[in-house]
């Protein structure tokens, strides 16, 4: 069966093509009413951070500054209950993430529980720990998709950015095994000033390994990436080159490769609808079971997060103060409050607003209407034109398979 049909069949089998999947309430699946009252629609997906352990040391790591220790990780059966609850409230997709999820010895059991409740499963991995036998077993259990992160396709630079020798060869091998095993494949390439010169080669790599999709995402500078901003941020001019390269590649590769391009916030004029809108689309669960509206939510002040071991996901999703803090429109200040894009981008990213403006309810500084936008853009240009400092690597030395 052609690959696209395979994918559609898989989506259909896993309920992703069914309409009206809102199991939560009889209310519409829209996030907010015109008068400002919030609806609570079903989450579309669950991002399960199975562990924070990771053999790589990426300077833009999106995990929290305080990593969770392996002895606090939820067991496979605790994850099973979480998946069951997620599916029961309408979630369709499960992203098995980390850290490095393949550092979990019980990954096959965990995947099995997800498949059992009908979730579409995506393994987000650096690929360096996977063996062919293990990937084959995961495929047999029912893994639908694998997303492999690429630091660069020039070996020396891949080693330098990841802080891990030989990562590239392993990624190449795992991508080829995924193709042999019929697992859907996405290549994820975080973009910054130290790999941007190889963007065309990174796109060629995705074509060569027969990926269906490539995500080219300029880094967002909060949590650990904020420490390395000056080492990672490109100039505006170089950023614009990436736009041209991606646009040309999109045209050239129609029907071959799908593109997901996340532009650079410092050089944007309007922000992204971060994580599909706060409390509107995804639930992130940390290794110890803390449920978050986005992966960086713990960087925000004044929020208390519930744990899936203590509360049903439905209760957390619908009523927890953290999920409701920036849901809908009521929390907004000007200029967002009266802006005609307020239900399109929901004021952008809360974590970026706080990281730059120290106000979690401020307009995302990526927006040209924000009072902080000019200084946000100027800071980027200033840092990007200065020599890049050395990386502050993200080290987690507790890597042993659990
Ligand atoms: Fe979006 Fe707020 Fe900017 Fe309007 S002012 S475009 S709602 S971030
Ligand atoms: Fe938290 Fe954007 S990462 S809202």
Ordered DSSP codes for 97-143: ESS-GGG-TTHHHHHHHHHHTT-EEEEEE--TT--HHHHHHHHHHT-
Token pair 């400092």: residue: 389
Considering only CA atoms, which residue is closest to atom 1 of ligand 2?
A: 351
Q: Phi and psi at residue 102, in whole multiples of 5°?
A: -75, 0
Token pair 């706080």: residue: 354
DSSP 275: G
Cα separation, 322 vs 334, in Å, equals 22
State the sign of the Cα–Cα–Cα–Cα dihedral 120, 221, 296, 21. Answer: negative
**Spacing, Cα 274 to ligand 2 middle (Å):** 6
Cα separation, 292 vs 320, in Å, equals 10
Cα separation, 176 vs 173, in Å, equals 5
Q: Which of left, alpha, beta for 346 (phi over 0: left; psi -120 to 50: alpha)?
A: left
Check if 273 has its Cβ closer than 6 Å to any atom of ligand 2. no
The candidate with the shortest Cα–Cα distance to 60, out of 234, 244, 287, 276, is 234
Residue 377: its H or E element: helix 373-385
Token pair 């409701």: residue: 324
Check if 143 has its Cβ closer than 6 Å to any atom of ligand 2. no
Check if 229 has its Cβ closer than 6 Å to any atom of ligand 2. no
**Spacing, Cα 151 to ligand 1 middle (Å):** 32
Give me the pLDDT at residue 29, please: 35
With beta carbons less than 8 A apart as the criterion, state whether 163 and 58 touch.
yes
Cα separation, 153 vs 262, in Å, equals 19
Segments of the chain with pLDDT less than 70: 1-39, 397-402
Q: Phi and psi at residue 215, in whole multiples of 5°?
A: -105, 115
Atom of ligand 2 nearest to the CA of 274: 2
**Spacing, Cα 101 to ligand 2 middle (Å):** 22
DSSP 32: B
Q: By three-state DSSP, how is residue 25 classified?
A: coil
Give me the pLDDT at residue 397, please: 56
Please list the alpha-helical segments (H only) found in 155-256: 155-162, 167-181, 199-208, 224-227, 229-232, 236-252
20: Cα within 13 Å, side-chain hemisphere: 2
Q: Phi and psi at residue 122, in whole multiples of 5°?
A: -125, 120
Q: Which of left, alpha, beta for 43 (phi over 0: left; psi -120 to 50: alpha)?
A: beta
Atom of ligand 1 nearest to the CA of 340: 4
Residue 218: strand pairing partners: 191
With beta carbons less than 8 A apart as the criterion, state whether 87 and 118 touch.
yes
Considering only CA atoms, which residue is closest to atom 1 of ligand 1?
A: 347
Q: Phi and psi at residue 184, in whole multiples of 5°?
A: -60, 145
Cα separation, 356 vs 314, in Å, equals 32
Q: By three-state DSSP, how is residue 367 classified?
A: coil
Cα separation, 375 vs 373, in Å, equals 6
Cα separation, 373 vs 211, in Å, equals 36
**Spacing, Cα 277 to ligand 1 middle (Å):** 13
Give me the pLDDT at residue 34, please: 40
């Amino acid at each position: 069966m052609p690959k696209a049909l395979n994918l559609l069949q898989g989506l259909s089998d896993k309920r992703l093509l069914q309409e009206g999947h809102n199991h939560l309430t009889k209310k519409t699946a829209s996030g907010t009413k015109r008068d400002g009252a919030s609806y609570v629609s079903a989450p579309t997906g669950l991002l399960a951070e199975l562990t924070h352990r990771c053999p790589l040391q990426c300077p833009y790591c999106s995990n929290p500054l305080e990593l969770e220790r392996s002895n606090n990780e939820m067991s496979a059966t605790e994850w099973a209950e979480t998946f069951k609850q997620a599916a029961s409230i309408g979630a369709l997709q499960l992203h098995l993430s980390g850290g490095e999820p393949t550092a979990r010895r019980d990954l096959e059991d965990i995947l099995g529980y997800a498949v059992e409740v009908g979730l579409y499963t995506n393994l987000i991995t650096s690929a360096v720990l996977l063996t062919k036998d293990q990937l084959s077993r995961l495929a047999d259990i029912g893994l639908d998709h694998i997303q492999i992160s690429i630091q660069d396709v020039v070996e020396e630079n891949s080693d330098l950015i990841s802080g891990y020798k030989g990562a590239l060869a392993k990624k190449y091998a795992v991508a080829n095994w995924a193709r042999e095993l019929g697992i859907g494949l996405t290549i994820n390439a975080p973009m910054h000033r130290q790999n941007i010169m190889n963007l065309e080669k990174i796109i060629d790599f995705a074509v060569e390994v027969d990926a269906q999709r490539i995500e080219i995402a300029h880094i967002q500078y909060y949590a650990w990436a904020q420490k390395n901003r000056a080492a990672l941020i490109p100039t505006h001019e170089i950023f614009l080159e990436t736009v041209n390269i991606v646009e040309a590649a999109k045209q050239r590769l129609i029907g071959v490769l799908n593109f997901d391009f996340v532009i650079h916030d410092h050089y944007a004029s309007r922000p992204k609808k971060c994580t599909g809108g706060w409390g509107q689309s995804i639930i992130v669960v940390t290794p110890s079971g803390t449920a978050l509206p986005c992966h960086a939510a713990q960087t925000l002040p004044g929020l208390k997060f519930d744990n899936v071991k203590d509360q049903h996901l439905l209760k957390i999703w619908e009523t927890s103060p953290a999920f409701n803090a920036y849901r809908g429109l009521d929390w907004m200040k000007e200029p967002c409050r009266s802006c005609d894009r307020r239900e399109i981008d929901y004021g952008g990213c809360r974590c970026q607003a706080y990281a730059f403006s120290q106000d979690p309810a401020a307009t995302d500084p990526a927006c040209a209407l924000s009072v902080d936008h000019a200084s946000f853009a100027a800071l980027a240009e200033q840092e990007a034109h200065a020599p890049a400092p050395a990386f502050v690597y993200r080290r987690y030395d507790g890597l042993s398979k659990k």
